[in-house]
Amino acid sequence: MTQDRLTVTTGAGAFSAYVARPSAVAKAPAVVVIQEIFGVNAVMRGVCDDLAAQGFLAVCPDLFWRIEPGIDITDQSEAEWKKAFELYNAFDVDSGVEDIAATIDLIRADPQCAGKVGAVGYCLGGLLAFLTATRTDSDASVSYYGVGIEKFLAEADRLTRPLMLHIAEEDQFVPKLAQGLIIDSLKNRTGVDIHTYPGRDHAFARKGGEHYEAKDAGLANDRTLAFFRAALG
């Protein structure tokens, strides 16, 4: 595996993206990793590295670049949480999806990309992964504990490619009512695969986080890997 950075250029400006490249293959399907509210930090870079180790070309764009480029913080201090929520509240979802679309275009044209591109997102990124599925040409998308998806369910009619959702049943940021709306709206749609995790709180798959749970994180990640292998080839 090799690691580097790319520059994504849009009509609104340019931003950086972390890239992890698989070393064992000349061509590979790509996955856009969509950040949490802590920026392109060690956790997100680790997700990219893990995907590269499994044979995917992984890229994580800096979606906070319009607010403050280069955010790289953790969930380990009150000050960092405060900063993260300030960024979250200042973030424009529509612009974020446009930046993800630009990242998909760039990585699809990368010489190492085999052609297909998926997306996986966590927390804020989980919402953006859902919107990536409804608004972009991503070939397959995965949402981990997406916050606010219930507000955008009217877009579900735009879903034409595979989508997987991981829902934590005790998610403090996604109330039971919201979970029910999401599940009821999406469960019977072709190509949508929903998994719920009893007893799990938000960010149960974030390594090092307060609610990390290795067993269910591993289960969710195995499901995601199988999903991408089937959808992206």
The Cα 214–Cα 74 span in angstroms is 19
pLDDT of the residue at 177: 98
pLDDT of the residue at 26: 87
Torsion angle defined by CA atoms of residues 56, 214, 150 and 159, in that order, rounded to the nearest 10 degrees: 30
Q: What is the mean pLDDT of residues 29-33?
A: 98
pLDDT of the residue at 24: 79
Residue with the bigger pLDDT between 128 and 24: it is: 128
Alpha helices per DSSP H over the chain: 42-53, 78-90, 93-108, 124-135, 176-186, 214-232
Task: Using DSSP, state whether 31 is helix, strand or coil.
Answer: strand
Token pair of 175, please?
A: 């109330």
Query: What backbone torsions phi and psi does residue 216 show, to the nearest 5 degrees?
Result: -75, -30
* CA-based radius of gyration for the chain: 16
State the pairing for strand pair 28-34/113-122. Answer: parallel
pLDDT of the residue at 25: 81
pLDDT of residue 1 exceeding 90 = no
Q: What is the mean pLDDT of residues 93-97?
A: 98
Neighbours of 65 (CB within 10 A): 22
The full set of domains in the chain, from first to last, is 2-232 (3.40.50.1820)
Q: Where residue 35 falls among pLDDT bands split at 50, 70, 90?
A: very high
Q: What is the mean pLDDT of residues 85-89?
A: 97
Residue with the bigger pLDDT between 137 and 1: it is: 137
pLDDT of the residue at 229: 98
User: Which are the catalytic amino acids?
Assistant: 171, 202
Token pair of 106, please?
A: 């760039």
